[in-house]
Structure 1
Amino acid sequence: MKNKHYLLRLSFLISLFLCNLIYAQDAKNVFLENTDKENRFYEEAYQNIDNMLNDRQQYSFKIAVFGVENAYYQGKLDIPQLEREISFLKAFSGSILKSRDLNYSESDKDNVSKYAAVFSIMCQSLPVMVKDTVVQYKPFNYDFEDVFGHKDISNLFVSKLLLTKKGNCNSLPYLYKILAEELGVDANLALAPNHVYIKHRIKTVGWYNTELTSGIFPEDGWLMASGYIHLDAIKNGVFMKALNNKESLALCLFDLAQAYNKSFPENDGSFVLKCTQRAIDVYPYFAKALILKAETHKQMFEQVMKEENLSTDNPKNIKLALRNPKAKELFEIMRKEYGYIYEIGYRQMPEEMYLDWLVSLKTERSKYENKKLNNFVK
């Protein structure tokens, strides 16, 4: 990429950027009705995504993502403020596009330039002229605190990323995709064990990976180095597949189901099963949705055991529970579901190994980086 010593004159945008998201600080503790039978925020979020999948509503990954997060916050999410933040980043990207030129001459240069602009917004420090002073724009950073959202699921949210400029392998690629689509170009999400990243296809190199947690473009060898990507998983599209827009919406349905479980931990499973089944209809090899569906059936089976006054801690009680027709049906469904997940090549990476694998991309950067992209994308 040819740098022209550009200094982006964005004083009015910087002023906007310095405005913090106005969150209700107690949004995480909003009152939820003591029922899981019907919750309009979750139902509305589901319906919007389903309408997009059925082409009854214009596709928007941004609307789908914010709909999920707003459901969790029970309508308390300040979506207009989030839109202003997105508008700032879009305008910033536009200024970058006008201020520099890529060392790239293929017919898809316009698209590649937009990919590079979004990458810079996400991962690079940039000099910005504010009045007569040059300041450094600081990119988004990886947050190693609660990376799986176990303590607080909002740590996975794009809204949290926009507020704190700290995110993870869920929120960072989601925001990248949102910004790319704001600029009018596609960005394909892709999955690895416990991980989401970006895939693009350009004329000079074909498909390439964009890794936002470390800000580099790794070759597929890094993904395979995890040791948890079975060849069947690649063949079936469980991992490393460039997801289309509807398959990306399937990820939002999984997020919606996961958030619902956090909001209503004692729910009856019906809404979660509706979300996961719809996600699987769209993306049949979506392992996380398949697993959540199986685990929901497992919880329903255990609930029948409790109703039969059978302790779930004693494996011998399973045989006794199977005398109940409902329990027997659930057990058979669950057994087939877990078997299918293994059959398609999914292997679970231990969470403690995930961070070591993620860090290896920085410590062994020269080993895994796609060097073909260095001359024009960065």
Structure 2
Amino acid sequence: MLGTKIMKYFYLSLFIFFAGVIKAQVNQFYTDAYQTIDNMLDDKQKYSFKTAVLSVENAYYQGKLDTVELDRKIRFMANFCKTIIKNRDLTYNEKDKETVSKYAAIFSVICEETPILINQDTIRYKPFSYDFEDVFGHRELANLFVSKLINTQKGNCNSLPYLYKILAEEIGVNANLALAPNHIYIKHNIKSIGWYNTELTSGIFPQDSWLMASGFIHLDAIENGVYMKALDDKESLALCLVDLANAFNRSFPDNDGSFALKCADRAIQIFPNLITALILKTETHKNQYLKLEKNSSSAVRLLSKINAEYSYIHKIGYRNMPEGMYLEWLTSLKIERKKYSDQRVVL
């Protein structure tokens, strides 16, 4: 009888030990992804937006993402861009024609049906399309991923601009991400017209008036760089840190919030008014507050911090855009293409 109890205790201890080992291994994927991005931010590792994005997605998949195959497909698309550049002469004659030709090629690969000649036969390359299913990743976070976009040819306002920036870097040109409520798009600056917008969900170049038409971009948000700002490479990496925290929260919904706060704080250090990081930090504090005794000194201090954070978020111009209104706003670009299209852009 005593021997049976000892054996039960032994197996229970063994189970607890291995459970702890497995949990540690799981967390290590997120720790490694964070370190990869942090090293790039500190210039300890060569910058690569592709590496940052795929490290986040690989952490979510617990190391099971086939990054080799994804990289092969990305290189194929990059080579396709180079082929388009070689065989197409733009009616654009400014000094930055080579750069603009690269932008146009990436846009064609992502948004346009393009003829390809293979063994004297012409086939039609099909572009990526917008996936209106689970656009916010509520049902499955991976619906926001670049890997999902590449493997299905369907994506959204998160994965499409991410892929555009990845392809830009693959062919040796810069691309600036920019934010709008619940949305990411591309901004470019060229010699002929200056700044212009590239919207990949509908495949056109919208004027700023379309962005303002959402009704949720407050002037303060523009002045404070919350929205419509061309992000530099390190600010784009800050977006990846927020993605990493959101993936971690989805993987471990009962976590204590420390990893999310670590990601949020590092992102805010790089991009002080990154609205997704500010909201992540405040919502994490809110979740921590809900687990405390409401009258404790810790709860009182945390509640005061939460109120101050919400106040700052409102002060810099953030206004919550309901998901239904976002989809209506996004659809308006297709319905009213002529109204919002920037007629200066002819690529």
- Pick from 229, 233, 250 the counterpart of residue 262 of structure 1: 250
Runs of 5+ in structure 1 lacking a partner? Answer: 1-30, 306-320
- Which residue identity does 2:328 align to in structure 1? D
- Pick from 180, 195, 215 the counterpart of residue 207 of structure 1: 195
- Pick from 302, 310, 316 the counterpart of residue 290 of structure 2: 302
Q: Distance in 2 between matches of 1:37 and 1:92?
A: 38
Q: Distance in 1 between matches of 2:270 and 2:173?
A: 22
Asked whether the 8 Å contact 2:26–2:62 carries over to 1, the reply is no
Q: Distance in 2 between matches of 1:35 and 1:255?
A: 21
The residue correspondences of 1:203-282 to structure 2 (distance < 5 A) are 203-282=191-270
Q: Residue 135 of structure 1: SS of its match in structure 2?
A: strand
Superposed CA deviations along residues 156-206 of structure 1, whole A, max 9, x for unmatched, are 000000000000000000000000011110000000000000000000110
Q: 1:36 to 1:170 in 2, by over 3 A?
A: farther
Q: Distance in 2 between matches of 1:45 and 1:209?
A: 30
By how many angstroms is 1:132 displaced? Answer: 2.7
Q: Which residue of 2 aligns with 1:106?
A: 94
Q: Residue 46 of structure 2: SS of its match in structure 1?
A: coil
Q: Distance in 2 between matches of 1:291 and 1:198?
A: 22
Q: Distance in 2 between matches of 1:350 and 1:34?
A: 39
Q: 1:37 to 1:297 in 2, by over 3 A?
A: farther
Q: Which residue of 2 aligns with 1:339?
A: 311
Q: Which residue of 2 aligns with 1:292?
A: 280
Superposed CA deviations along residues 69-119 of structure 1, whole A, max 9, x for unmatched, are 000000000000011001100110111011110001111000000000000
Asked whether the 8 Å contact 1:36–1:264 carries over to 2, the reply is no
Asked whether the 8 Å contact 1:36–1:267 carries over to 2, the reply is no
- Percent identity, aligned pairs only? 62
Runs of 5+ in structure 2 lacking a partner? Answer: 1-18
Q: Distance in 1 between matches of 2:142 and 2:20?
A: 16
Q: Which residue of 2 aligns with 1:142?
A: 130
Asked whether the 8 Å contact 1:72–1:259 carries over to 2, the reply is yes
Superposed CA deviations along residues 209-261 of structure 1, whole A, max 9, x for unmatched, are 00000000000000000000000000000000000000000000000000000
> Greater shift after overlay, 187-196 or 326-335?
326-335
> Greater shift after overlay, 31-40 or 136-145?
31-40
Asked whether the 8 Å contact 1:197–1:209 carries over to 2, the reply is yes
Q: Residue 186 of structure 1: SS of its match in structure 2?
A: coil
Q: 1:33 to 1:348 in 2, by over 3 A?
A: farther
Q: Which residue of 1 aligns with 2:337?
A: 365
Q: Residue 344 of structure 2: SS of its match in structure 1?
A: helix
By how many angstroms is 1:33 displaced? Answer: 7.4
Q: Distance in 2 between matches of 1:32 and 1:179?
A: 40
TM-score (norm 1): 0.85
Q: Distance in 2 between matches of 1:128 and 1:203?
A: 31
Q: Residue 274 of structure 1: SS of its match in structure 2?
A: helix
Q: Distance in 1 between matches of 2:94 and 2:106?
A: 19
Instruction: Tell me if 1:182 matches 2:191.
Output: no
The residue correspondences of 1:41-60 to structure 2 (distance < 5 A) are 41-60=29-48
- Which residue identity does 2:183 align to in structure 1? H
Q: Which residue of 1 aligns with 2:300?
A: 328
Q: Which residue of 1 aligns with 2:6?
A: none
Q: Which residue of 2 aligns with 1:125?
A: 113
Q: Which residue of 2 aligns with 1:96?
A: 84
Q: 1:33 to 1:168 in 2, by over 3 A?
A: farther
TM-score (norm 2): 0.93
Instruction: Tell me if 1:196 matches 2:184.
Output: yes
By how many angstroms is 1:333 displaced? Answer: 1.0
Q: Which residue of 1 aligns with 2:328?
A: 356
- Which residue identity does 2:202 align to in structure 1? S
Q: Residue 200 of structure 1: SS of its match in structure 2?
A: strand
Asked whether the 8 Å contact 2:178–2:228 carries over to 1, the reply is yes
Q: 1:267 to 1:371 in 2, by over 3 A?
A: same
Q: Residue 372 of structure 1: SS of its match in structure 2?
A: coil
- Which residue identity does 1:135 align to in structure 2? I
Asked whether the 8 Å contact 1:187–1:200 carries over to 2, the reply is yes
Asked whether the 8 Å contact 1:160–1:166 carries over to 2, the reply is yes
Q: Distance in 2 between matches of 1:365 and 1:146?
A: 24
- Size of the alignment, in residue pairs? 329
- Which residue identity does 1:359 align to in structure 2? T
Q: Residue 51 of structure 1: SS of its match in structure 2?
A: helix
